[in-house]
């Protein structure tokens, strides 16, 4: 029977301390629901009384299926009784089954920051926890600055823990508040604490200031801790908190622990991670451990041919265990094996010893040396491959285009700018000329192309451009630089594809990427060439 590790999520409290994080009440409710569904043991919802958002959350706190909701706060103020402390009243007023109180365990902090005596601080800890327990709540004690405090004065730091333990705290959590501790220190200090308080249930709360919050948390588990406090994607003040998304798979798949998350639920960990990014309007980190889009991506040709033999060659776990998938990339480093693999995924039939594959590999390498990047533009790669293999339909030919940008400064110093584009295309036997305006030369070109093509290909009404990226490849040449444009397009179902263009002329590069975007879509509709 595997030992159980308890997961305590502080995304909604400590996570929301980070710069740029502003959860609405709706965000908090949605995140709490997702954490509960995933199998998190404790959800710290906020600090009752600290701000209107947290109060509104606790007023509407959802019925959880599995998790216990926890309210965070401080031990009572100096010189007051716990039952008469307004802060504790707010915390208890939230009515949560669990409560987490933070208190000081570093004597220097007690004296300089709190400005109370070390003995009064111990009473503040025990009084506050006893009061919470008497109200029927499960009490957690966050020992703030515990590791720094222990290094400075181990006796006092342990006295603070004992005060909480003797008051009946269910969990005593050792906090590396400043995030500066090393895993070997954490292991040694937790082991010391375990020998002094062998029956206390210990937790760990780490910050990522040396990029070791995950390792510090796991070192604490190896030393006997059984609760981990962390946040989804490691969000949190400064460099963030311990990242539960990286911790949970390692605990379950590598260290053999049981958590509240089942093997089935573990497959949803990527969705949980992306939910937080969605709520924060952030682009997910494609390199995130376990859940990143690139976490199981293979680029080097050497790796890919070995992968084809056995996936253990370059994968530390089976990506399916965490609901992720393997990704084979085409690029500069591509060998034949990558390219063949990609063609197969695209449904392009070609024999493995076809001479034209070598030619394709060479073109990809040469173009990537110029600045093309096919790994981020697989639709353009597919068109290149089909072109070479004689399988590329032509829906239109560009004969010429003109893009004009005209700006006039008005007497009040504002600018009046007009962008206009003209295109001349041959579509089958027909020659078509159209003109359109836009709010920049590329937008005008896009409009003019659609105006010319939509009467022949009404399906184009169901696609649109959803992203447009420009990268200067030779920045030392400044405005004369080689430019790469990547366009993301989507169909009416939200399915996306990516195309690129590279040229010294930004408009030419954009035009090439537009051509590929339109052609790939029409090809996928199964439409005949013009």
Using CB under 8 A as the binding rule, the residues of this chain from 359 to 418 that contact its own copies are: 365-366, 368-369, 371, 373, 375-376, 397-409, 415, 417
Q: Are 91 and 135 in contact (CB under 8 A)?
A: no
Query: What's the min distance (Å) between Cβ of 238 and its own copies?
Result: 6
How many Cα atoms sit within 13 Å of 370 on the Cβ side?
Answer: 17
Separation CA 481–CA 105 (nearest Å): 58
* Dihedral sign computed on CA atoms, order 53, 55, 60, 65: positive
CB atoms within 10 A of CB 404: 13
Compute φ and ψ for 409, nearest 5 degrees: -90, 125
Q: Which is nearer to its own copies, 165 or 395 (CB)?
A: 395
The piece of 63-71, 188-196, 377-385, 503-511 that touches its own copies (CB under 8 A) is 503-511
Q: Which is nearer to its own copies, 72 or 171 (CB)?
A: 72
Query: What's the min distance (Å) between Cβ of 45 and its own copies?
Result: 15
Tokens 């072109």: give the residue. 387
Using CB under 8 A as the binding rule, the residues of this chain from 287 to 316 that contact its own copies are: 287-290, 292-300, 302-303, 306, 309-310, 312-316
Query: What's the min distance (Å) between Cβ of 488 and its own copies?
Result: 8
Q: Which is nearer to its own copies, 65 or 408 (CB)?
A: 408
Separation CA 44–CA 499 (nearest Å): 44
CA distances from 67 to 36, 252, 338, 429, 436 (A): 5, 19, 45, 67, 57
The tokens of 381 are what? Answer: 């790669």
Using CB under 8 A as the binding rule, the residues of this chain from 76 to 105 that contact its own copies are: none
Query: What's the min distance (Å) between Cβ of 14 and its own copies?
Result: 9
Using CB under 8 A as the binding rule, the residues of this chain from 459 to 478 that contact its own copies are: 464-476, 478
Kindly state whether residue 492 participates in binding its own copies, applying the rule CB under 8 A.
Answer: no
Tokens 């639709």: give the residue. 379
Kindly state whether residue 443 participates in binding its own copies, applying the rule CB under 8 A.
Answer: yes
Query: What's the min distance (Å) between Cβ of 403 and its own copies?
Result: 4
Q: Which is nearer to its own copies, 134 or 418 (CB)?
A: 418
Query: What's the min distance (Å) between Cβ of 15 and its own copies?
Result: 12
Q: Which is nearer to its own copies, 64 or 422 (CB)?
A: 422
Using CB under 8 A as the binding rule, the residues of this chain from 203 to 242 that contact its own copies are: 208-212, 214-216, 218-219, 222, 237-240
Query: What one-character-per-residue DSSP string does 290-308 give?
Result: TTSTTTTEE-SHHHHHHHH
Count each helix (H run) and each strand (E run) in the chain, helices first: 18, 16
Q: Which is nearer to its own copies, 138 or 315 (CB)?
A: 315
Kindly state whether residue 112 participates in binding its own copies, applying the rule CB under 8 A.
Answer: yes
Using CB under 8 A as the binding rule, the residues of this chain from 249 to 278 that contact its own copies are: 249-250, 254-255
Contact characters 21-60, its own copies, x per CB under 8 A? -x-x-x-----------------------xxxx--x----
Q: Are 235 and 21 in contact (CB under 8 A)?
A: yes
CA distances from 433 to 186, 450, 453, 509, 528 (A): 72, 11, 10, 21, 22
């Amino acid at each position: 029977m595997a030992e159980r590790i308890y997961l305590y999520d502080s995304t909604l409290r400590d996570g929301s301390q980070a710069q740029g994080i502003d959860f609405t009440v709706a965000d908090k409710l949605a995140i709490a629901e997702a954490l509960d569904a995933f199998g998190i043991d404790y959800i710290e919802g906020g600090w009752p009384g600290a701000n209107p958002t947290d109060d509104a959350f606790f007023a509407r706190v959802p019925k959880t299926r599995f998790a216990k909701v926890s309210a965070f706060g401080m031990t009572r103020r100096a010189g007051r009784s716990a039952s008469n402390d307004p802060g504790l009243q707010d915390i208890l007023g939230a009515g949560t089954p669990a409560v987490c109180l933070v208190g000081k365990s570093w004597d220097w902090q007690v004296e300089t920051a709190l400005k109370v005596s070390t003995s009064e601080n111990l009473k503040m800890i025990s009084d506050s926890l006893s009061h919470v327990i008497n109200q029927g709540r499960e009490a957690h004690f966050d020992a703030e600055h515990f590791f720094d405090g222990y290094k400075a004065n181990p006796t006092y730091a342990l006295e603070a823990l004992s005060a909480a333990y003797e008051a009946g705290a269910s969990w005593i959590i050792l906090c590396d508040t400043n995030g500066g501790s090393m895993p070997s220190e954490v292991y040694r200090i937790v082991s010391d604490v375990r020998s002094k308080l062998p029956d206390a249930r210990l937790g760990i709360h780490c910050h990522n200031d040396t990029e070791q919050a995950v390792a510090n948390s796991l070192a604490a588990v190896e030393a006997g801790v059984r609760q981990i406090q962390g946040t989804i994607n490691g969000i949190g003040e400064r460099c963030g908190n311990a990242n539960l998304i990286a911790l949970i798979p390692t605990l379950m798949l590598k260290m053999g622990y049981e958590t509240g998350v089942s093997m089935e639920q573990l497959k949803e960990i990527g969705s949980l991670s992306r939910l937080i990014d969605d709520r924060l309007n952030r682009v997910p980190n494609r390199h995130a451990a376990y859940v990143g889009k690139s976490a199981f991506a293979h680029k080097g040709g050497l790796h890919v041919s070995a992968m084809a033999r056995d996936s253990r060659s370059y994968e530390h776990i089976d990506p399916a265990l965490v609901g992720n998938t393997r990704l084979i990339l085409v690029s500069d480093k591509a060998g034949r094996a990558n390219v063949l693999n990609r063609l197969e995924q695209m449904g392009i039939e070609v024999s493995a010893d076809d001479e034209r594959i070598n030619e394709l590999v060479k073109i990809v390498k040469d173009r990537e040396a110029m600045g093309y990047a096919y790994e981020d533009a697989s639709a353009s790669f597919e068109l290149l491959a089909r072109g070479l293999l004689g399988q590329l339909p032509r829906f239109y030919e560009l004969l010429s285009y003109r893009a004009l940008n005209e700006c006039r400064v008005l007497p009040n110093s504002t600018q009046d700018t007009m962008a206009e584009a003209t295109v001349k295309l041959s579509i089958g036997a027909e020659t078509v000329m159209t003109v359109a305006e836009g709010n920049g030369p590329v937008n005008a070109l896009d409009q003019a192309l659609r105006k010319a093509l939509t009467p022949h290909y009404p399906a184009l009404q169901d696609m649109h451009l959803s992203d447009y990226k420009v990268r200067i490849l030779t920045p030392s040449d400044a405005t004369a630089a080689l430019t790469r444009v990547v366009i993301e397009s989507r169909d009416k179902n939200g399915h996306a594809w990516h195309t690129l263009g590279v040229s010294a002329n930004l408009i030419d590069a954009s035009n090439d990427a537009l051509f590929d975007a339109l052609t790939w879509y029409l090809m996928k509709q199964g439409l005949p060439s013009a």
